Amino acid sequence: MRIVVHGQQAFGKAVLEALLKRGENVVAVYVAPEKEGAKIDPLKEAAIAAKLPVYQPASYRKPEVWEEFKALKPDLQVMAFVTLFVPEDFLNIPTHGSIQYHPSLLPAYRGASAINWQIIMGEKEAGLSIFWPDNGLDTGDVLMQKKTPISATDTLGTVYFDRLFPLGVEAMLESVDLVKAGKAPRIKQDESKATYEGRCGPENARIDWAKSWRHLDPLIRGCNPAPGAWTTLDGKQVKIFDAKPLPAKDPKGIAGKMGEIVAVEAEGFTVVCADGRFKVSRVQPEGAKKIDAAEFIAASKLAVGARFT
């Protein structure tokens, strides 16, 4: 079967290398164009190392792009982390169509920041779907799904890199096997259960210390490592990455104002929220790298009584 791998970044590279390792006939690779001045995409780098032709169209609506794809005589397009819109007619050019990875249990959490939102919304379980893409946003028939729990300490980074990344590569290989065997299902998504959340960006990641720790804890974890939950100190942004919630036994008896720093210790500082406190151990000051809270304390001369806003 003639396979075209379409994607980008580390996940795309991992899928390509896994297919090549087991001897699949990968005939070409499609990669999103790099921005000016950016490093070469890892998938492109892996494709060049494997001496595979690489295509990087800026749009998939042009006739010449379609003709170029048809000339490859593809049987299956494997889409591993694709961000550009690809029309359904292009997706259907391969003999067996196209399959795509999405890091949620579709139809829930469609959209570009699915993992962030699964954690932020307090879900106890995350997952991935391999589906047959169409003209909609993550709306195509489902081929396969895999699940993984979300613990009380999981972050975006741990859920993705530790579990959904390797599970996704595994699911892609299993899906290719099902397509080759003519046994790949096409399960319609239940639109009554569909949810969509937009991209999780800085506007969604602001910390409101007047809210419950139950709200702030998943927000901080769901934005770690990106986009980074943030607050401000003396008018400058500070991103909070590692913070342990300390729920109050009696929220009415909490001392200190919302966002006030009530303890500064060698291993971190403690901030007041609506019904408890947070012990912060890793941050990123505005315009700087991520650092341990102890280093931040020393550099900023942080003291009890200072207040995040």
Q: What is the pLDDT of residue 209?
A: 97
Q: Count CB neighbours of 151 within 10 A.
A: 11
Q: Give the phi and the psi of residue 183 in degrees, each rounded to 5.
A: -120, 15
What's the fold here for domain 203-300?
Answer: Methionyl-tRNA Fmet Formyltransferase; Chain A, domain 2 (3.10.25)
pLDDT at 256: 87
Question: 10-residue block means of pLDDT along the chain (309 residues)?
Answer: 97 98 98 92 98 97 96 98 94 98 98 97 98 97 98 98 98 98 98 96 97 98 98 97 93 82 95 96 97 96 95
What span, in angstroms and rounded, lies between the C-alpha atoms of 261 and 56? 50
| Distance (Å, whole) CA 143 – CA 145 | 7
Tell if the pTM clears 0.85, that is, is over it: yes
pLDDT number for residue 253: 64
pLDDT at 61: 93
Q: What is the residue extent of each domain of the chain? A: 2-193, 203-300
Separation CA 175–CA 13 (nearest Å):
17
* Chain mean position to CA 110: 12
CATH code, residues 2-193? 3.40.50.170
